[in-house]
Structure 1
Amino acid sequence: MVSLEQVQQIYRQPLVSLVFDAQTIHRQHHQTDAVQLCTLSNIKSGRCPEDCKYCPQSARYDTEIENYPLLPLETVIEQAKTAKENGSTRFCMGAAWRQVPDGQEFDRVLEMVSAVADLGMEACVTLGMLRPDQAKRLAEAGLTAYNHNLDTSANFYPEIITTRTYSDRLKTIEAVAAEGIQVCCGGIVGLGESEQDRIELLHTLANLNPQPESVPINALSPVEGTPLSDAAIVEPIVLVRTIATARILMPKAIVRLSAGRHRLSVTDQALCFMAGANSIFSSEKLLTTVNPSIDDDASMFAQLGIAAWETVPQR
């Protein structure tokens, strides 16, 4: 167990010392100067009954996103093949559901998972709340990881979401881990949370058993029509501190520099990589928000001397 006081001490130390410690730990556990490319597909968009204040896919908010039902299997397979050709080794599929539905739709998701795994890629899904029996079926289909973010601290969580509880999220994470599926679990900075909230989120993540294999660190991308549309853009240094602390607390995890990257300069992103981030999303969009282009990322990699993983290392 890591104490809250220990997390506070790590997070609040001088930035140069924090990044040095994080980079030192990173080099002990991971390939240096290399990141994993992931592609995220929005396989079912909009009309979600949840009230997450940051999310344009909520049916409660008037946003301009496209609403569509679960994509055909063939469409998703073609997306995954294209992602692999573009260098991604992990293909993530997100559906705007509160709870994973039983029936034909879930059966189709299972087929998608199997097809992605058959391509030699890591298969990840984020589908909402999940029962143990559903987790078992996903594991049998070949699922690598299940994404279910905690978003923020338990204390601040009710300010952002009221339609499900923090314990609901933890139950889904427990169901996933019990089936041997890797847990992908992180959070969002820039929701209006305090520094202490970020510290408490990292404390919770570090004390999950097992620790998450994958930790996405997202910066809010405010979307017009959502309650957080006027939220202040978070300073890049907040991302760097959050990533560095996550790297120190969860040495073996893949720390993913996720949403909000389009607002970061190459220098900002370089600091995040120095702090221990070793994965980015290579997609036209992250579900519904803007993401840097593949060409922009290739240019950044060339400037920084960073390579994309060509294969998935054994972890």
Structure 2
Amino acid sequence: MISELHQEYGALAEKVLAGKQISREEALRLLEAPDERLLDLLAAAYRIRKHYFGNKVKLNMIINAKSGLCPEDCGYCSQSSVSEAPVEKYALLDKEHLLAGAKEALQRKAGTYCIVMSGRKPSKREVAEVASAVREIRATTQLKICACMGLISQEDANQLADAGVQRFNHNLNTSENRYEEICHTHSYQDRIDTVEHVKQAGMSPCSGVIVGMGESHQDVVDVAFSLHELDVDSIPVNFLNPIEGTPLAGVRELDPRYCLKVLAMFRYVNPEKEIRVSGGREVNLRSLQPLALYAANSIFVGDYLTTQGQEPTSDWKMIEDLGFEIEEYAQ
């Protein structure tokens, strides 16, 4: 049985490298791999990762450009209307703060600077202010700019693209089958529509998932395939960091080994895409964090929105110790 599993992982990697799509049943078997075969699974996933990305690691940095004050009821989020978590609440940061964040991203060796706003959707004024800051950043650096501003119209997406925003993030978060268990104030289709607006505007679509919210293994497989069908370029894989004061505060079902299986499965299903180990990396992968980069090729460096991340120097050292390289960008 062990030999058969080892051969299956390698055979599926060969299938992927030959340009074929694995089935949902095969993806589920990867996700449910026995713990004693974890290294075999990661070794096979690494063959796919290395084929498309070598040993390069992309670094991304987030700025929490607008915090709290959100009318949505997403159960995982400390900034939502149903959260009692003690988070900072402030309106959109001014241009000087956004420009300073870009400089900080460069100091952290990040190639992508992510401007993230809480809220259902941005106002026209907020879109214009972010666009103005992005124009100035793009005029002086080679930073890739990603915006994450909630649900956006086609008009707003076009304005951001014209200003130089290259990527826009809007996560699916979970499968369509159980979306209403996580959020009631907007729909799964609303999120799909925003991703389609991003694509129509010519920006690179970024959309991902939060694992560990009580979903089944099949739900995780389903959202991996949904993201494949949407043809997004970048997939942030978040692992729930249950924050006190949120509806999901008591949900603690992840272990590092399962998290690694999730990343490997996402690599098989979306072989050519940027797979990013995102929020909850430190608290869920713990001492196994370095192994994540055998499947993923991207991480966030520094803090997240309302939770702390690992020190950038620790991330740099982790990458160096693996024999991998940070993907450098000209400043």
* In structure 2, C-alpha distance between the alignment counterparts of 1:21 and 1:310, rounded to whole Å: 26
* In structure 2, C-alpha distance between the alignment counterparts of 1:64 and 1:116, rounded to whole Å: 32
1:92-133 per-residue CA deviation (whole Å, 9 max, x = no partner) reads: 01100201211x222101112223333110100111101111
Determine which of 202, 213, 223 is the counterpart of 2:233. Answer: 213
The 5 Å alignment of 1:102-141 reads: 102=124, 104-118=125-139, 119-141=141-163
Partner of residue 294, structure 1 = 312
Partner of residue 31, structure 1 = 54
State whether residues 255 and 284 of structure 2, in contact with CA within 8 Å, keep that contact through their aligned partners in structure 1.
no
**Alignment identity in percent?**
34
State whether residues 256 and 286 of structure 2, in contact with CA within 8 Å, keep that contact through their aligned partners in structure 1.
no
The 5 Å alignment of 1:84-233 reads: 84-102=106-124, 104-118=125-139, 119-208=141-230, 211-233=231-253
State whether residues 151 and 186 of structure 1, in contact with CA within 8 Å, keep that contact through their aligned partners in structure 2.
yes
Deviation at 1:24, TM superposition (A): 1.2
Give 3-state SS (helix, strand or coil) of 2:183's partner: coil
State whether residues 92 and 125 of structure 1, in contact with CA within 8 Å, keep that contact through their aligned partners in structure 2.
yes
| Residues 1:246 and 2:256 are matched in the alignment | no
* In structure 2, C-alpha distance between the alignment counterparts of 1:28 and 1:296, rounded to whole Å: 26
What is the root-mean-square deviation of aligned Cα atoms in Å?
1.8
* In structure 2, C-alpha distance between the alignment counterparts of 1:166 and 1:23, rounded to whole Å: 32
Partner of residue 8, structure 2 = none
Partner of residue 328, structure 2 = 310
Partner of residue 289, structure 2 = 269
Give 3-state SS (helix, strand or coil) of 2:76's partner: coil
Q: Could you tell me which amino acid in structure 2 is paired with residue 30 of structure 1?
A: F
Query: Larger % of helix: which?
Result: 2
* In structure 1, C-alpha distance between the alignment counterparts of 2:314 and 2:22, rounded to whole Å: 38
Q: Could you tell me which amino acid in structure 2 is paired with residue 43 of structure 1?
A: A
State whether residues 69 and 118 of structure 2, in contact with CA within 8 Å, keep that contact through their aligned partners in structure 1.
yes
Partner of residue 21, structure 1 = 44
Deviation at 1:233, TM superposition (A): 4.6
State whether residues 239 and 284 of structure 2, in contact with CA within 8 Å, keep that contact through their aligned partners in structure 1.
no
1:21-46 per-residue CA deviation (whole Å, 9 max, x = no partner) reads: 321111111121x2111110000000
Which of 290-299 and 146-155 deviates more? 290-299
Give 3-state SS (helix, strand or coil) of 2:88's partner: coil
1:78-100 per-residue CA deviation (whole Å, 9 max, x = no partner) reads: 11112102211100011002012
Which of 109-118 and 169-178 deviates more? 109-118
State whether residues 2 and 207 of structure 1, in contact with CA within 8 Å, keep that contact through their aligned partners in structure 2.
no
Deviation at 1:162, TM superposition (A): 0.7
State whether residues 144 and 182 of structure 1, in contact with CA within 8 Å, keep that contact through their aligned partners in structure 2.
yes
Which runs of 5 or more structure 1 residues have no equivalent in the other structure?
A: none
1:219-276 per-residue CA deviation (whole Å, 9 max, x = no partner) reads: 11111110111111511122211211111221221110111122256751222111x2
* In structure 1, C-alpha distance between the alignment counterparts of 2:318 and 2:22, rounded to whole Å: 35
The 5 Å alignment of 1:42-57 reads: 42-57=64-79
Deviation at 1:74, TM superposition (A): 0.9
* In structure 1, C-alpha distance between the alignment counterparts of 2:81 and 2:137, rounded to whole Å: 29
* In structure 1, C-alpha distance between the alignment counterparts of 2:108 and 2:191, rounded to whole Å: 33
Which of 258-267 and 147-156 deviates more? 258-267
Give 3-state SS (helix, strand or coil) of 1:183's partner: strand
Question: Judging changes above 3 Å, is the alpha-carbon distance between structure 1 residues 265 and 168 closer, same or farther for their aligned structure 2 residues?
Answer: closer
Q: State how many pairs are aligned.
A: 306
State whether residues 38 and 261 of structure 2, in contact with CA within 8 Å, keep that contact through their aligned partners in structure 1.
yes
1:278-308 per-residue CA deviation (whole Å, 9 max, x = no partner) reads: 111112x211112111132233234323321
* In structure 2, C-alpha distance between the alignment counterparts of 1:107 and 1:202, rounded to whole Å: 33
* In structure 1, C-alpha distance between the alignment counterparts of 2:308 and 2:40, rounded to whole Å: 32
Deviation at 1:76, TM superposition (A): 0.9
Give 1 or 2 for the bigger CA radius of gyration. Answer: 2
* In structure 2, C-alpha distance between the alignment counterparts of 1:46 and 1:75, rounded to whole Å: 17
State whether residues 145 and 181 of structure 1, in contact with CA within 8 Å, keep that contact through their aligned partners in structure 2.
yes
TM-score if structure 2 supplies the norm length? 0.87
Q: Could you tell me which amino acid in structure 1 is paired with residue 238 of structure 2?
A: N
* In structure 1, C-alpha distance between the alignment counterparts of 2:210 and 2:96, rounded to whole Å: 32
Give 3-state SS (helix, strand or coil) of 2:177's partner: coil
